[in-house]
Structure 1
Amino acid sequence: MGVRGVPGRPSVAVMDRTPGRRDDDLSPTPFDRIGHLIRPAWARTPVVRRVAAGALTLLALALAVRGDPGDDREPVVTVTRDLAPGSVLGAEDVRTTHLASSAVPAGSVHTVDDALGHTLAGPARSGEILTDVRLLGSRLAGAAAGPDARIVPLRIDDTEVAALLRVGDRVDILAVDGEHSAEPRVLASAATVVLVSPGEDGRTRRGPVVLAALPENAATAVAAASLTGALTVTFH
Structure 2
Amino acid sequence: MTLRRRTALALARHRGALGTLCAALALAGAVLLLRPVPDDATAVVVAARDLSPLDPVSASDVEVGALPSSAVPAGALRPGEEPVGGALTGPVRRGEVLTDARLSGPPAAGYGPGTVAVPVRVADAQAAALVAPGSRVDLVAAEPAATAPDQGWAASGGGPPPEAAVLAEDRPVVAVPEGGPDAAGGALIVVAAAEDEAAGLAAASARGGVALTIRS
Structure number with the bigger relative contact order (C-alpha 8 A, sep ≥ 6) is 2
Higher-Rg structure is: 1
What is the TM-score of this pair, normalised by structure 1?
0.42
What is the TM-score of this pair, normalised by structure 2?
0.46
